[in-house]
A and B are shown apart, each in its own frame.
Chain A
Amino acid sequence: MANLTEDPVLEINRIKVKEEDTNLAIDNKVVVREEGQGERDMSPPGGNSIHRSGSRPQLDLSKAAIEGNFEEKDPIILLPNQSDDISHLAVDLGGSLIKLVYVSRHEDRSSNDKRKKTLKERLGISNGSRRSYPILGGRLHFVKFETNKINECLDFISSKQLHRGGMDSRWDSELPANNNAVIKATGGGAYKFADLFKERLGVSLDKEDEMDCLVAGANFLLKAIRHEAFTHMEGQKEFVQIDHNDLFPYLLVNIGSGVSMIKVDGDGKFQRVSGTNVGGGTYWGLGRLLTKCKSFDELLELSQRGDNRTIDMLVGDIYGGMDYSKIGLSASTIASSFGKAISENKELEDYRPEDISLSLLRMISYNIGQISYLNALRFGLKRIFFGGFFIRGHAYTMDTISFAVQFWSKGEAQAMFLRHEGFLGALGAFMSYEKHGLDDLMVHQLVERFPMGAPYTGGKIHGPPLGDLNEKISWMEKFVRKGNEITAPVPMAPTGTTGLGGFEVPSSKGETLRSDASALNIGVLHLVPTLEVFPLLADPKTYEPNTIDLADPSELEYWFTVLSEHLPDLVDKAVASEGGTEDAKRRGHAFARAFSAHLARLMEEPAAYGKLGLANLLELREECLREFHFVDAYRSIKQRENEASLAVLPDLLMELDSMSEETRLLTLIEGVLAANIFDWGSRACVDLYHKGTIIEIYRMSRNKMQRPWRVDDFDVFKERMFGSGDRKPPPHRRALLFVDNSGADIVLGMLPLARELLRRGTEVVLVANSLPALNDVTAMELPDIVAEAAKHCDILRRAAEAGGLLVDAMINTLDGSKENSSSVPLMVVENGCGSPCIDLRQVSSELAAAAKDADLIILEGMGRSLHTNYNARFKCDALKLAMVKNQRLAEKLIKGNIYDCVCRYEPAS
């Protein structure tokens, strides 16, 4: 990429883009428990204990350690894979696939952390009473098996003890094996396989009505998952955000063996209004007879290489190559499916199975699209959602259906598809448990994560479940070759030879289309009831966190390149952070493979994981690191930088205190911008370290701050702070400071600014990451940093005491108690995420609580104020501060250059 070669610094800067992340994949936990080896990997470094907040999916490592201890006392708990409190499992036993939906529970461990306690008192959060959560946090897993491999499915259930859900899973010795364990099931196999389940697992299947399940599943997905639905036209997916208040009525078209068309008016309110007997069974049945394919997927695969023009009679065939334009039919419109097969010269064996399959696929898809549209029209429904096993994320199928709906409705109606379409029934069955706990879930309480296997399997399980980290790494190694295959798309016939008529097709993006290119990956759905929408967003409905839209292919390619190039370096850091052991190296390689596979998958199919923004991509990387037990790759770097910065802080504070109030404010803002250059990963920064001390670099950088900055609202901000003329505006009541990096950024930039606000009588809440992401400072680390800084500064000390931070950091305050009341507090809250960016629709409940009284927000750093939230509007005053350390972003966003600064101030809207 041009930028890279032009500006070597750039490379580094890009790295700084950090990722959000939060959760550890479930399997990690399993590993630890099983082998008892995990503690070593996870034990927090240097006694810097990692606090878990209960408000967000946890790094499970700590728990693992604890349970490691428990293991000795209570070996019974150690059934393999029994680490999760499985509560429920539901199955959809279809003719070709078995779909499982199950929830693994995660205890909401309240932290004993004193900081939190104080904070909670201050913010008025009382754990249970402020709000009672309908459910505990948990994870919703979506897994599928081929029906003819039902034994693998049974093994999976058995090894994960999924069927013991909801009961005390520890020890059922008193109960006979065939106690009344009941699993909700739907699909035809619920009848067929009932005995097998009874025999193998000792559970009864409780059969739920198929339609009920479908509708319940669809309603849940459409309401609870933000970008569940998408349109698919000419190979392009576009995710659609459905307004939950405007969801009903809609037409749900479930394409199974036959097709049901259901008008859905609300939860549990629906009517089957139509259907057709020409459905998936017809495609597969006729296809089998005509092509001798052995499986549905094989038949679909064949269609990819087909040319239906050899079999279908097109308008052009009838009109001698001319359009019948008078009625709007182009020459390539299919006049009659299989119409050319009437020719006497050719028999069945003379036709290519590929062509037959495509012709059949288009005939059936188009027909379904048309009948669906006619029914939607009849009931005045604008939205048609298609689901069922026939679709399988298959691009031609979706394109053909979409085309039909669009063609006949003249663009009035829209065909939409669901990412979880294969799981509607299983989800619905799950929801039929009396207390499934999903009802009350809100969209902001769900976070979808893609575990390492996602790029390979797309959620289909082959073989036994992976037990531990070691198995996972082996699995990664084993699939490396597979991974290479995956990155190289299967060559396809070039566009234009694939037929396509009126129901015209799909030149899918690029010249090639692989069969599974459209198959969407389904991640694990983390249910985090403590997440909330940031209450100060001016308009949560229209809020879009991502500034950069990765739907733009050049943007996508750019960021993929950046991330790929940075990968080796990141692996080195990560391995070093774990002591550089052989084990760490092995995990490092596995991480690199897994993350590369994610990237390759996304490069090939950007929509594979749903709507993709830069923030999601960055978060994915952090998640992936955690999945391989890299807790904090930048741990030592952060520590070093903090120490170095803290050492020069007193000098800086002294310098600041010698200035007039107004000069000081400008210097402080300059300081924040200047210190934001200390982005880890910036090679310029690393070089500078060799040349001088941190304070020198900081001063140099600050001196370079030439106003006006590229975006410069400082004067407006200053007026808000000091007023103009005689008018003295009151100070802000409470400021939320979203902090960025460790080291100089926090110590020399944001802390002094916080101090100034405190001095003016404004309460300050430092908002930091819940989990590590690059060198971002975390909420866990902040109390120590503040405590250290407070040693040299009374203002900070008193405020920190008032905010309960010093107690937390184990600082002995000799005379603190009396003065506490005299200072406004300095507090720390976690933001609920582990990414360098922040999606303000999903923040921790403590941040949401802290925001209630806030009237100023300061967002600092590229990740939180540029990559995300640059265009966000707030109900209160907002200041966005960042140095742009990426040429491309600088050009794109502010039409400037690398190292330009942004000081964007927006008064309350």
Chain B
Amino acid sequence: MDLGEFQIPGNSDPNQKTSHLSLDIGGSLIKLVYFSTNDGDNDDELGSSGNESVGVSNGSRSYPVLKGRLHFSKFETRKINDCLDFIQTKRLHLGGCQRLGALPIEKTIIKATGGGAYKYADLFKEKLDICLDKEDEMDCLVAGANFLLKAVHQEAFTYLDGKKEFVQIDQNDLYPYLLVNIGSGVSMIKVEGDGKFERVSGTNVGGGTFWGLGRLLTKCKSFDELLELSQQGNNRVIDMLVGDIYGGTDYSKVGLSSTTIASSFGKAISDKKELQDYQPEDIARSLLRMISNNIGQIAYLNALRFGLKRIFFGGFFIRGHAYTMDTIAVGVDFWSKGEAKAMFLRHEGFLGALGAFMSYEKHGLDDLKVHRLMQKFPMSSLVGDKICSPLNGELNENESIECSVYAS
């Protein structure tokens, strides 16, 4: 669909190993972005022979270039060992161009962001003998978002009433925008340009709240299971609606329709029903609506405050989940009276990891946009549809972006 063929220049300095893996270790999920060569299977060791090197003239210098793909993977943070195993078996930490058997003596450095970059630094050192080079979370988020919005065709889309609509962003009219990253918590960042941004707000009611409260209330075993449940739920069983208070009529005087939620979980105050008397589906639905709606509202209020017309929502909470996006979008639409639009990013979960990837000194991705603008590597060159689930827009685990990196 929207995979671009990217050419990423490699690093010409033989003493500096450019790793082609970066990490975003969040409170609940670990996100990985890594590069693999074009014809190598994912299971192949990176940098194995057979890569075709293409020299690309880039300004005054010329670098060997590896054609390949950017891969996106995620793990639950509490299952960090799975992640370590994954890295180990794929030998991702050995850098993009390490030849088999040519392990470096010097320390391997991997760019990482997210709180876990601090928390798990020792673990990475111990298990994989690699140093995590900590990149600032916000820097990474913004860099990732800017890259995606500029370089990837059909990255942003709106979602309303179950309809997904891709939005073509004019690169020259991208800034300023509000980036809302919904991880465990929520950060709201006003972005005014490359590297120019400010965290203006946030909320502690985020993905972690959904999953944490949801677990306690429903005994779901995973975040995805909880999301799945919510699809089948009916929040009216638990939420107190305006109509419940006003005897089924609207409180039209203040513009509230009878189906507006007056109080999330407000019906649960009834002493006739206990937790086990409610359907987990309904609970999940109520919770999802409460949190999505709240984020949408706070995001809108912040956008309004700074006069920002575009709000991009990213982060792992969303997961391309239709109802989540719908609720957020409705929230923004409701509070802004249609003035503001909520937009989502296809690679929403990987902003941080992508940003970390881009923080390698010579990652070559910066140049990509140049290529794209020159339409040397048109974004529309599709690579089949194995990647995306068109129904909910979720980024498939196996999705990758074709690109090239500098060979080192």
Contacts and interface: CB of A to CB of B under 8 A. Distances in A.
B213 A338 contact: yes
A336 B204 CA distance: 4
A277 B204 CA distance: 16
Nearest to A280: B263
B118 A370 contact: no
B234 to A, nearest CB: 16
Interface stretch (A125-133, A310-318, A868-876): A310-318
B205 interface: yes
A285 interface: yes
Interface in B128-180: 136-138
Contacts of B305: 374, 377-378
Interface string A163-200: 00000000000000000000000001001000000000
Interface string B249-280: 00001110000111111111101001100100
A326 B293 CA distance: 28
Interface stretch (B2-10, B82-90, B215-223): B215-223
B115 interface: yes
A318 B114 contact: yes
Contacts of A272: 254-255
Nearest to B137: A324
Interface string A766-784: 0000000000000000000
Nearest to A341: B212
B204 A371 contact: no
B116 A370 contact: no
Interface in A241-280: 256-258, 260, 272, 274, 276-280
A188 B245 contact: yes
Contacts of B137: 324
Query: Among B208, B268, B301, which residue has the most Cβ atoms of chain A within 10 A?
Result: B208
A344 interface: yes
Most buried by B among A211, A338, A347, A348: A338
A284 B269 contact: yes
Given A277-B239, A281-B263, A336-B204, A374 B28 contact: no
B215 to A, nearest CB: 6
B27 A320 contact: no
Contacts of A342: 28, 78, 208, 211-212, 215, 223
Contact of B184 (A326, A336, A408): A336
Contacts of A322: 118
Given A318-B27, A336-B185, A341-B215, A282 B204 contact: no
A290 interface: yes
A356 B212 CA distance: 11
A315 B245 contact: no
A289 interface: yes
Interface residues of A, number: 67
Given A317-B27, A336-B208, A95 B269 contact: yes
Given A277-B261, A288-B268, A318-B115, A313 B240 contact: no
B78 A277 contact: no
A317 B271 CA distance: 36
Interface in A481-532: 502-503
Contacts of B64: none
Determine which residue in B203, B204, B205 has the highest number of CB atoms from chain A within 10 A of its CB, and name it. Answer: B204
Contacts of B100: none
A325 to B, nearest CB: 11
Contact of B213 (A256, A286, A320, A502): A286
A209 interface: yes
A726 to B, nearest CB: 73
A338 B185 contact: no
A366 B262 contact: no
B264 A282 contact: yes
Interface in A341-357: 341-344, 347-348, 351, 356
B201 interface: yes
B318 interface: no
B260 to A, nearest CB: 8
Contacts of A351: 216
B4 to A, nearest CB: 32
B254 A339 contact: no
Contacts of A280: 263
Given A277-B293, A313-B208, A336-B206, A285 B263 contact: yes
A437 B207 CA distance: 53
B178 to A, nearest CB: 13
A313 B215 CA distance: 15
Contacts of B400: none
B119 interface: yes
Given A281-B240, A318-B184, A363 B209 contact: yes
Contacts of A312: 204
B212 A311 contact: yes
B238 interface: yes
A318 B116 contact: yes
Contacts of A334: 185, 204
A191 B199 CA distance: 47
Interface footprint category on B: 35 or more
Contacts of A340: 208, 212
B269 A347 contact: no
B391 interface: no
A701 interface: no
A327 B26 CA distance: 17
Contacts of B116: 318
Contact of A336 (B27, B78, B199): B27
A337 B297 CA distance: 18
B163 to A, nearest CB: 25
Nearest to B223: A342
A322 B238 CA distance: 39
Contacts of B14: none
Contacts of A274: 297, 335
B261 to A, nearest CB: 4
A294 interface: yes
Contacts of B27: 313, 317-318, 335-336, 339
Contacts of B302: 374
Contacts of B239: 277
A400 B354 CA distance: 36
A791 interface: no
A551 B65 CA distance: 74
B204 A320 contact: no
Contacts of B261: 258, 277
A327 B119 CA distance: 18
B264 A313 contact: no
A83 to B, nearest CB: 39
Contacts of B283: 289
Contacts of A335: 27, 115, 184-185, 204, 208
Contact of A363 (B205, B215, B278): B205
B290 A277 contact: yes
B201 A408 contact: yes
Contacts of A378: 301, 304-305
Contact of B205 (A95, A188, A344, A367): A367
A281 B266 CA distance: 4
B387 interface: no
A338 B218 CA distance: 14
Given A211-B254, A277-B293, A286 B298 contact: no
Given A324-B115, A336-B27, A339-B209, 8 more contacts: A211-B253, A278-B263, A313-B212, A322-B118, A336-B183, A338-B209, A351-B216, A502-B204
19 contacts: A95-B269, A258-B261, A277-B264, A278-B263, A278-B290, A285-B263, A286-B213, A286-B268, A289-B265, A289-B274, A312-B204, A313-B27, A317-B27, A324-B137, A326-B138, A335-B27, A336-B208, A342-B208, A374-B201
Interface of A: 95, 188, 191, 209, 211, 256-258, 260, 272, 274, 276-282, 284-286, 288-290, 292, 294, 296, 311-313, 315, 317-320, 322, 324, 326-327, 333-344, 347-348, 351, 356, 363, 366-367, 370-371, 374-375, 377-378, 408, 502-503
- Across the A-B interface, the 5 shortest Cβ-Cβ residue pairs: A318-B115, A339-B208, A281-B266, A336-B208, A281-B263
